[in-house]
Structure 1
Amino acid sequence: MVNEANGQSEEADAIREFWRGLGLPGLIDVHTHFMPQRVLDKVWAYFDAVGPMTGVAWPITYRDAEDERLQRLRAFGVRAFTAMIYPHKPGMAAWLNAWGADFAARTPDCLHTATFFPEPGAADVVRGALESGAQVFKAHLQVGAYDPADPQLDDVWGLLAESGTPVVTHCGSGPVPGKHTGPGPISAVLARHPRLRLIVAHLGTPEYAEFLGLADRYPHVHLDTTMVFTDFTETLAPFPRDLLPRLKHHEDRILLGTDFPNIPYPYLHALESLAHLGLGDDWLRAVCFGNAARLFADAPALRAA
């Protein structure tokens, strides 16, 4: 137990040294997962079995109780984070949103996170979440197995675009393709709602160039770094180094994401992988804090930043 505690302290110290060396007040992680325990247990069971699908084992590094996971993020110096929740069938979104609202109320450094699903009344669910203070939404096209251009979601995307509320969307085809993943389906949504503040999760893995192309076309499209550039992802879907200038070009729209706690490596490795790109300290400062601080400027945890 003593060695484990020392290891945690050393990890936190190294992470704090990372952001302090950049002159930052901490980190903002836009892609972390907190959810009802029975849902999280099912997610962890999925990752425990994901090896046969990807050919690579996916151990959960931070398989801790909720309080311990919160303490870790705070020890790392993460000033604000999210509770990425997502339904896989009708009838779940409203229940998850109620949990998300309660979690945000008792966790002031968590951005109030909500979600939705294509079903009757989807717009009412989103409208209610916005009225309750939701600051960010999650859409998971792979797990939900739905078309983002489903007519039942048109008013949903319209509400999010009109309110300027960011929506983190797993729309890339990694780690395994889905019927509605890839740039095509979400492009149809952006064509109809060009002001949508879409955050492409995982930089659109593995369709990196195509999703950077959406950022070229739509000034409100952002991308998060979740799992990209790490040794783990480089073995499955390496990021083409000839695209690095485009990452630099979009310096103001790349956001730190990690997938904590569901990552098969230490949190520090994700940060070091960003630094090893050689895009400079200004880029790191923007990605690790500045861009998200601007996007979520009204978040209580960031008002004094």
Structure 2
Amino acid sequence: MTDVAPVRAFWEGLGLPGLYDVHTHFLAPPVERKVHAVFDAAGPKIGRPWPIRYRLPVEERVALLREMGVRRFSTLPYAHRPGIAGFLNEWAAGFKRDVPESLWSATFYPEPGAGDYVAASIEAGVEVFKVHVQVGEFDLDDPLLTPAWGALEDAGTPVVVHAGHAPVGNDFTGPAPMARLLAAHPRLTVVAAHLGAPDYLDFADLAARHERVHLDTTMVFTDFWDADYPDGLTERLRDLQPRVLLGTDFPTIPYPYAHQLESLARLDLGEDWLRDVCWHNGMRLLGPA
């Protein structure tokens, strides 16, 4: 695929050994089909046409990431209702066994026993969790999640949280729920997906106040995102350099993988910033394969 050469040229030009992408998705086939249908329909949770560029079999997607030089990447299942987290987590564990360089990912939902299965997942070696309140429609500080957040806080295991209003917000999204969560669990290791779009500065403030809060770049600054970025955002990202992580949303993106990288380079924050974002920060947070 012609998408490979520009990706490799990007990280080779920075003198990196590859890329560390904390926000990619691999889902169990029946769940993935439903997710793709939502994107194809451009329904109320998407809000616009969203053609999926990398609609490939799982094996071909893994091979493509390897060929592009993405050395570590996540699966990031996200539970959208009670009772499904176990199925999603079991599939993700199998993916980890088959693809050892992937980040062992898991999810949880506000339901009885969530704290127990999150603690068991941590003990088993899960490296990163994902929750998606725009899709799951739940409060981050739901009391049913208190034991889960406590276990994650104690372990320091990162959680990628889609908490921002983009692409379509609801009563559960935005910086306020995240602020409440961090007030109760200030030592949580959180990665705010999409830089918390569109409330970029509010999520940057949370990262400035909480040393374990990170931001991922997923889809932000691309031509497709078409956002109105606030003044001072790039300066804040420079200040937060050690806690900004590369994320892409591969494979459900409507443009070549390299476009995300080019979009970050256009910020003109320097090669050291790009090296940290695209490799070193992920290594520090999640480690090597």
Q: What TM-score, normalized by structure 2, do the two folds share?
A: 0.98
* Deviation, structure 1 residue 232: 0.5
Name the amino acid aligned to 2:82. Answer: P
Q: Contact 1:251 / 1:283 at 8 angstroms: preserved in 2?
A: yes
**Residue ranges of structure 1 left out of the alignment (5+ in a row):** 1-7
CA–CA distance in structure 2, aligned partners of residues 50 and 167 of structure 1: 27
Say whether 1:185 aligns with 2:186.
no
Say whether 1:293 aligns with 2:280.
no
Q: Deviations over 1:149-186 (max 9, x none)?
A: 00011111111111010000000000000221001111
Q: What is the aligned partner in structure 1 of residue 268 from structure 2?
A: 278
Say whether 1:149 aligns with 2:137.
no
Matched position secondary structure for 2:129: strand
Map 1:19-168 → 2, pairs under 5 A? 19-50=11-42, 56-168=48-160
CA–CA distance in structure 1, aligned partners of residues 143 and 184 of structure 2: 12
* Deviation, structure 1 residue 52: 6.5
Q: What is the aligned partner in structure 2 of residue 4 from structure 1?
A: none
Identity across aligned pairs (percent)? 54
Q: What is the aligned partner in structure 1 of residue 241 from structure 2?
A: 251
* Deviation, structure 1 residue 53: 6.2
CA–CA distance in structure 1, aligned partners of residues 107 and 8 of structure 2: 31
CA–CA distance in structure 2, aligned partners of residues 92 and 128 of structure 1: 16
Higher helix share: 1
Say whether 1:199 aligns with 2:223.
no
| C-alpha RMSD of matched pairs (Å) | 1.2
CA–CA distance in structure 1, aligned partners of residues 46 and 5 of structure 2: 33
* Deviation, structure 1 residue 241: 4.5
Q: 2:256 aligns with which of 266, 270, 274?
A: 266
Moved over 6 A (4+): none
Q: Deviations over 1:184-238 (max 9, x none)?
A: 111111011111000000000111111001011111100000000000112xx23
Aligned length: 289
Name the amino acid aligned to 2:239. Answer: H
Say whether 1:219 aligns with 2:211.
yes
* Deviation, structure 1 residue 51: 6.0
Q: Deviations over 1:106-153 (max 9, x none)?
A: 110111001100000000110121122100000101111000100011
